[in-house]
Structures are given as structure tokens and as C-alpha cells.
Amino acid sequence: MTSTNNHSTDLVNIRDLLPEDIPILPLVIRPIFPNILTPIAFTGENFLEAIKDAEENYNGFIGLVFVKDIDDNDYFNSTLYDVGTVVKINKVTSISQDSVQAIVFGIERFKKKKVLPDTPRLCWKVKYNRETADSSIELKAYMLAIMTSLKEIFEVNPILKEELKLLVSQASYDHPSIFIDFVSSMLKAEAKDLQELLEEFNIVNRSQRLLTMLKKELEISQLQAKISKQIEDKVSKQQKEYFLREQLKLIKQELGLEKDEKSAVTDKILDKIKHIHLSAEAEKIVNEQLEKLSLLDQGSPEYHVARTYIESIVELPWGVFSKDRLDIKKAKNILDRDHYGLEDIKNSILEFVSTVIKTGNVNGSILCLVGPPGVGKTSIGKSIAESLNRKFYRFSVGGMVDEAEIKGHRRTYIGAMPGKIIQALKLVQTSNPVIMIDEIDKIGNSFRGDPASALLEVLDPEQNKDFLDHYLDIRYDLSKILFVTTANQLDTIPRPLLDRMEIIHLSGYILEEKLQIAQKYLIPHQLKAHALDSKEITISKNALKFIIDKYAREAGVRTLDKCIRKIMRKVNLKIAEGNVEKVRINENNVEAYLGTPLFTTEELYQNEIPGVTLGLAWTSMGGATLYIEAASISNKESGLKLTGQLGDVMKESAEIAYSYIRSLLAKDISLPIEVKEFFDKNKVHLHVPEGATPKDGPSAGITMALALYSLATDTPIRKGLAMTGELTLTGKVLPIGGVREKTIAARRVGIFELILPKDNKKDFDKLPDFLKTGLTVNYVDYFTDVIKYAVKK
């Protein structure tokens, strides 16, 4: 304790010599506390001059102040805090042209009074904080708490232990400020927090702040120690397990119980080769790769590339074929079991299947099932596979823009893999599966290649005997595979691809067909999916008709299936809540389960109005009815205005109809003069309702022309009549496509009289009887025939 008293006496003597005006040096890293011997280092001519000036003119005293906002160009222009520490330069340890190192001793805190003007360097007039001895009980309590916290830190942070151990042993209650400043200087806290500690002149408050910071330091040290221990334990465990596994592996190898990994991989590959029939090309490449594999180190990246490549080759079903089912009756039963109606489609498929059974190969045929969504294209593909007793694999090319998806990646790329076709064969493990390529009409194109062109090699029977995948780089025979593709429309399929496919059109279903499908397939399936039975829920026939007519008018049955699913979920909720034990769905309570009907009626007009006609259209979603409206505006300038988001072809049809009807009326001498001059004195507006829906196609030609004729002659068109046909400038009615879809659309909305082009009679005659029953069809060759059947006399 004597040394402490002498040290304190020296400090008192030094403090008496402290000048009020002192030079200032900015500190960048952290502030310096009083009563501490500290090394400092500065770089720069200004700092060097300031140290020399302090030694020569200020008895070695200089003020050190922490920077608040630094100026990187000139540290002396930085914004400084107002409180710093005055130090005495004990010794300059090193000095060079632009840097200086010294050992300084912190004497006292000071606070800036003002910046001295007209001085060669930064100088302040300061006020010192003259601390006196404080022996209050509160301060002693804080000192004791600080020492306790330090001891706790020792336990978890050995680095600080030796530095602070001596300090704790020599701590004195007579000079608490020295002890507190020393502890503060050892903290690893933020520089801003240390500056706040320096600025606290009241020693009790300073003790309180220090204790808070020590508690925070203790928490950080404890957390750091916990994390370090967890990592150390984990690493130790992994190292132990690794050494044990390596020892076990060596012991097994010595005893002959296990081979090394490389030998095991090679033996596995050789065993697979025995069970397949590699082509000569494939066998040569596999042998070369196995020899290469034996020379490579297991840790080499090239080893794993070579191993993956060999395994990709030998995992393919070389020469493995499933045996076709030679029973056409069984095939027919499967199609009848899975699909209602579609008799013409089933017959086409059975003809195809029978040929495959007879010849033993697919004869280069690729089926393309075309139709609106929800009509069963994908499920037909599954039925074909089951009929032939072949494995089934499906993938979609909708939106595909990379040809590598079809033909594989080059092995030079990281993460290279074979194309979809080779992946399919690897998965099904047979060389003659049924592969369905979905959404072929939505295939994309980009800078990464043209997948549609890549499919040509896959689907072309003249090329796919020697299909070359980029990854395998070995020819593989795809000719035994039965490819089935699906599409919603043919327009967007590239022509060379379309030429290689046999098209089978699947039209939509009428109400009666949907009713049977719901009763035989959809309801049983949803009952099983929702764990219900017929004792808990019944859906009446009239309720199903109501659902089909008011909620699910689309060509397919997907929306109908969703409606049934929604009803099942609501019934499950009612049963779970204990409200009911059995639910009966009828026409009167359907809305309670499905909400407001989506469709009211497609018959917009209850009365016959001149200028309004009903046409039939084909869309990718199936057939649809299409109203066309014509109105006149008295105007000196004649002309035609079109609205309803019409495509280019439909606009041309409208212009042809307009020109033809003007010509027809002008030549008809039996008509009154006001009718003959109608188009000269009126501007005509032709509109197709549902203007948000794009429409295109030539088959609305006679419908538009009839609307214009009806408007000009002020004669309404007979109710319950729909029509379709392309019109030429001479009034000739040309044939159209989609007769089946358009007929279904007419029946769906209760239209039973049609006008069709004369050349489409053969198409209508091919329709199944249930579609033709009850329909009256008028065949027309010229537009004058249309007038005869359509205009109300």
C-alpha cells in the first residue's frame, strides 16, 4: 500500500503543474483513460510537430481527445468530443520522417472551455476534473460488485484473467478512481460507450456505468464460451467418428469382409452389365471409362464425373422390353371402364392398339390428342399404356425453352444430366414404354435453342432408331416407344412436328354425357377422396344437371369435378360439426353449397330484334355460341365500325360481309328505295359482345352478313337458330372446321336448328347419333339460301 501512497503523491505534484492551455491530438480508435500508462503511435507531419511542441513548450503535457466525426483528409479538422484526457509524455520510443511512437501516462480528465485562436496548431483552454477521495458506503458497494463481476469474467475468459488478476489483488478502496479507470481501459466495449464512461465526472455514477458494462461483457463472454464449447464438442465427435470409421474400414478390408469403395463401385457396375444387353458402341465406351476410373483417385472431381457417367449408361434398360398384352377385348374394357362416350376416339385408339399388337411395333406412329382442357387427354394416354401392358411416363413441355431438356447437356458443363427421354427410360426400366408429352402446343423458344426442333429427332421414326443424347453421346433406339402427345390447339404446333403426328380430336361433352361421367366416375372418386359414402351424401340427377348448366358449361369436366369436390368438403364440415348425419343435394339447395350460379343463360335476347344474329364459334376451350349485333347511325358519311376485340381474319370477314350486303341490296329491284340506299345514308356499327375476349376466325362470315341484312331490311331473324360459315365476296358459303364442337355448343344452350355450309354435310353425318338427335340442319351453298332459312317471313 506504500507504493500506492507514493504514486498518489507524485500524481498530486504533477497535477499542480498542469497548464490551462494545452495542445490537442485527435484519437481515432478509442479514448485513453487517466492513471494508465499507454503506448501511442501517430502518422503524419502534424502529429510529429505537435509531440515536439508539447515536449518543448508544455513540459511534455498534451491533450488526447476521441474523434466524433472523422475527416479522412485532415484528422485535425475532425469533429471532436468535448471531454478528453491530459497525458504526460514519458518517453518517445521511435521517431521517423512522418511517424512517431511514444509512451504516455494519463493524468486527468478535462473539459473544453474554448478553442484558442491564432495558434500554429490545435490548442484548447480546458478545465480539469480534480477528483477527491470518496469513501462512501455506496461507492464501496459498487467497488465490491465490480470485483465480483471481474472474477466471474475470469472464469469464462482466460485471456483477461492474467491482466486483471493483479489489479484485483491490489485494489484499494482509498483510490477507487484509479481502479475504475484501469478496469475501464481493459474493457472490449464500443469506443462510444468508453467515451461516455470517460465523460462521467461523478465517480459513483461512473462506477454504476462501469458495472453495467461489465455485466454486458460477462454475458458476451458466457455466450462466446458456450458457442466455442458446442463447436469444439461437435468437431471432436466428428473427428472421433471419422477415425473409428476409417479404422473399421481397414479392419474389414484386412479380414476380407469388405472391399474398398472403388472396387465396390466397379463390381456393382460389372454386375449390372451382366443383366443388360449393351450395344457394341455402349460396351466399348463403358470398358474405356472403367479403365479410366481405375486410374483416378477417389478424391478427384474427375473420378465422380466418370463414375456418374458410367452409372447413367448401365442404369438404362438396354434390350429390356415389357411384353405387350395381346387382348383387344381387354383393351376395349379398359377404355370403356375409364372413359364414358368418346366412341369414335376409342375406335381410333383400338385400331391403333390392334396394329401394335399384330405387328409388335408402333410402326412409326405418334398419336396427338387434341382438345379443350378437361376432356380426358392425359387419362386416355394412361389407358393406352394399361391396354398394352406397358409402363407409362408423362412430362410436360409447356413453356420449355431449353433444348437440353430434350437432348441432354454436354458433359463439359457442371451439373450436366441426360434429357427427359433418357431420364424416363431410366425410371421406367423398359425400352418400350408409353411416353406422354403434354402441352406440345405451348412449347417455347429462346436463345438456349429450339426444343420443338429437338423433338423432331425424338418423334421421327426415321431418326429415333439412333437417337443421340448429348450427355450419353451413345446412340439409343427409341423406335419401340409409343409416343402420345397432347395439345389444346394445332395452330401453335410447328408444322414439321405436326406432320409426324397422327391427330385425334377430342371434342367437349354435352350435358347428358357430363351427367353420366359425374355419376359413374367423378362422384365415386370424390366420395373416396373425402372418406364419405352414399349413406352420408346423395346428389340428385336434377342437381347434377343444374350444376352442369349453371356452373360448369365448359367443354371438359374439370370445373364439374371442382364443384362436386366443393360440395363434399362442405358436407364433411357439417358432419364434423355434428349438425347432420346425411345430406341430400337437390336442385333447390345447390346454391347454398356453390354460391350464385356463374351462368344464367346464353340467350341474351328474349325477343326477336333486327340486326341481331347468333353464330357458332370454335375456341381452344371447345365450341361456343357468339351473338353479333348491328346498329345504324344516321350520318352523311357511310362506313363500318367494328368493336369486340376482333382479330385480323374476323375484321376481314366483317368487311367482306359489309361489301357483299351493300352489293346485294343495290341489285335487288324488289326492295324499296330506302332499303337500297340504307348504307349510303347510315354508318353501321357491328359489335360482338364480351369485348374483353379476343375473337378471330372466318366462320362468322354469314352470321355478320345476316346481321347487316337484317338491320338494313328491318327484318328480325327467327329465334332458336344458330349458324356458321365462311363468306366470299360473291356470296358463296365456304366450309368450316369444328362441326362437332359447334354442334355441342348449340345443344348446350338449347339451340336445335342450325345453318351449316353445304360442304360440311359429310362432317355432320359422321357425328354420333346422340349428338344429331333432335337437330334440324339447313345446308346452304350461297348467302341467298341463308336468307331463305333465317329471315322471318
Q: Give the active site residues.
A: 699, 742
**Quick one: cell of 664?**
346485294
Q: Give the total residue count for the chain.
A: 793
Interior angle at CA 98, CA 92 and CA 104, nearest 5: 25
**Quick one: cell of 128?**
480539469
How many Å apart are CA 382 and CA 378, to the nearest integer? 7
CA 289 to chain CA centroid, Å, is: 38
How are beta strands 502-505 and 639-643 bridged, if at all?
unpaired
With 0-12 / 13-18 / 19 or more C-beta atoms within 10 angstroms meaning exposed / middle / buried, residue 282 is buried
What does 244-285 look like in DSSP terms, one character per residue?
HHHHHHHHHHHHTS---HHHHHHHHHHHHHHTS---HHHHHH
Q: Helices (DSSP H) in 701-773: which residue ranges?
A: 701-713, 739-748, 761-765, 769-772
How many Å apart are CA 29 and CA 41, to the nearest integer? 11
Contact 684, 691 (CB under 8 A): no
Beta bridge partners of 476: 467
How many Å apart are CA 260 and CA 250, to the nearest integer? 9
3-state DSSP call for residue 236? helix
How many Å apart are CA 581 and CA 576, to the nearest integer? 9
Measured CA distances, 481 to 319, 378, 458, 465 (Å): 13, 17, 10, 10
By C-alpha distance, which of 577, 569, 729 is closest to 661? 729
By C-alpha distance, which of 609, 603, 617, 611 is closest to 650? 617
**Quick one: cell of 643?**
368493336
CA atoms within 13 A on the CB side of 55: 13
